[in-house]
Structure 1
Amino acid sequence: MLATLPACTGPLSTLEPSGPAGASIATLWWVMLTGSSILFVLVMTLFLLVIQRPGWGAGVSPGGWLVLGGLVLPAVVLLPLIAYALIAGESLLPLPGQAPPRIEAVGQQWTWTFRYPDHGAVETRNVLHIPAGTPIDILVSSQDVIHAFWIPRFAGKIDAVPGHVNRLRIQADQPGRYAGQCNEFCGLGHAGMRFDVIVHRPEDFSVALARAAASEGPEKK
């Protein structure tokens, strides 16, 4: 298992989080991995006891084994994991009354258009610009088929559904360039439906966005 961990790095890795939501999801993954490993060890221990010590456990009825091995043993591990997952999931939800900046993400085979209603409704294509250290509400929709908006290092994915707007709250810890993609098969060009995320220092964001939108040019919109 340890030999496979180097493959869990890179621009699309959920195990290298760069925001609070991404960190919560990564922690949940490690907790689930630990819990499943504990459950595996317990099951294999029982298996080896039966193989190495014939007659061990003969005093337990078949019904007792079903209850102990099928209910009690998994519950000891799975119930705490479920409780932790519910708590982690609740922590990802926006708090009532908060109204952070908004960015509209519109999917269309096979590009992403980003609109910034709080900045004169300017648009960028396949490049999302956000400020660092600030919660941002991404309003996700689609113009044709179902897509999925996903920036692995920031948060979980959310579907882009025609005629419906879904909201995803993200936050980036540090300035830099990150990667996002469509994570729902949407046609032959699905594999190329990726986008870049450029995170700016808060004081540079407005100017950088204006320059990026101007460089798009009317012909690209």
Structure 2
Amino acid sequence: MAGAVVPLLAACGGGHSTLSPAGPAARDIALLWWIMLAGSALICVLVFGLLVLAVRNNGARRSERTWIWGWGLGFSMSVLVVLLGFSLWLGEGMLARADDVPRVQAHAAQWEWRFDQPGPDGAIVQTRDTLYVPAGQDFDVVITAQDVIHSFWVPQLGGKMDAIPGHQNIHRLRADQPGTYEGLCAEFCGTGHSFMRFTVVAYDPNGPMPDMSGALIPETRP
């Protein structure tokens, strides 16, 4: 049994793991996952407990009001209502507000991501498959698509956000520490879907900006 579980647990790590959060939005999502897991476990324990009681009592009659309405529905619905309320409260806190935070543009197209963002001199430049952001600061990603529906996802920084042609979605994220975070398209978008990966480089805002030259799109070089 342990030999089967260890490989599964190993898959919970790495740059695409939602259980290794590196930002507030990702931490909230991971917290919600753990709480939902605990709530589901409680319901499972209750159901199996009732099943064992039914078998041990050889089908002896019990009060329907207590067992079906009280435990079967009342307890389960109470857990689900608490989970729903908590998830709505967390989700509300992740929404992008109309405050003054840096904003970058993400354009999805088959089969790449292009990002409009400030360059070293403050002028807007466009990079391919690499987004540069200051660590420790909130930033908004304005997401759209050129052709079909895609989905912007950096698992260690936050949840998924659809990229829809002709529509803009705003996604607020933050990287707590400088580092490199893996992103990908989370919506199947055609034969080249697996190539739609990108990198978020979070740099120290008190130090020099990283070299963008390798990711700059030629026609946007300053």
**Length-normalised TM-score, structure 1:** 0.89
Deviation at 1:55, TM superposition (A): 3.6
In the alignment, what sits opposite 1:114?
115
The answer to which structure has the higher helix fraction is 1
Secondary structure at 2:50 match in 1: helix
Percent of aligned pairs with the same amino acid: 42
Between the aligned partners of 1:30 and 1:184, the Cα distance in structure 2 is 24
Q: 2:51 pairs with 47, 62, 71, which one? A: 47
The equivalent of 1:38 in structure 2 is 42
The one of 141, 146, 151 aligned to 2:144: 141
Q: Are the aligned partners of 1:22 and 1:156 in contact in 2 as well (CA < 8 Å)?
A: yes
- Runs of 4+ with >6 A deviation: none
1:9 maps to 2:10: no
Match of 1:178 in 2: 181
Q: Say whether the 8 Å CA contact 1:123–1:213 is kept in structure 2.
A: no
Query: After the TM superposition, which residues 182-221 of structure 1 pair with which residues of structure 2 at under 5 Å, given as runs?
Result: 182-204=185-207, 207-208=209-210, 211-213=211-213, 216=216, 218=218
Deviation at 1:68, TM superposition (A): 3.3
Which residues in structure 2 correspond to 1:93-108 (within 5 Å)?
A: 93-95=95-97, 97-108=98-109
C-alpha separation in 2, matches of 1:15 and 1:77: 23
Q: 1:44 offset after TM fit, Å?
A: 0.3
SS for the counterpart of 1:180 is strand
Cα distance in 1 for partners of 2:220, 2:116 equals 14
Residue 88 (structure 1) aligned with residue 99 (structure 2): no
Q: What is the CA-CA distance between 1:69 and the residue it aligns to?
A: 4.8
Deviation at 1:52, TM superposition (A): 1.4
Structure 1 contact 122–213 (Cα < 8 Å) conserved: no
Measured against aligned partners, the alpha-carbon deviations of 1:126-182 in whole angstroms (never above 9, x if no partner) come to 011111001000000011111000000101110001111110000000111110000
Deviation at 1:204, TM superposition (A): 3.2
Structure 2 counterparts to residues 51-62 of structure 1, below 5 A: 51-56=55-60, 58-61=61-64
RMSD over aligned CA atoms reads 2.3
Counterpart CA distance in 2 for 1:178 and 1:55 is 56
| Kept after mapping to 1: 8 A contact 2:125/2:220 | no
Work out whether residues 130 and 198 of structure 2, in 8 Å CA contact, stay in contact via their aligned partners in 1. yes
- Which of 80, 86, 94 in structure 2 is aligned with 1:78? 80
Deviation at 1:5, TM superposition (A): 3.0
Do the aligned residues in 1 keep the contact of 2:152 with 2:185 (CA within 8 Å)?
A: yes
Supply the distance in 2 between the matched residues of 1:55 and 1:189 (Cα, whole angstroms): 57
Unaligned runs of 5+ in 1: none
* Cα 1:219–1:117 shift into 2, 3 Å: closer
Contact 2:113-2:128 at 8 Å conserved across structures: yes
Distance 2:141 2:219 in 1: 25
SS in 1 for 2:132: strand
Distance 1:213 1:165, change over 3 A: farther
| Unpaired segments ≥5 residues, structure 2 | none
For structure 1, which segment, 82-91 or 177-186, has the greater mean C-alpha deviation from structure 2 after superposition?
82-91
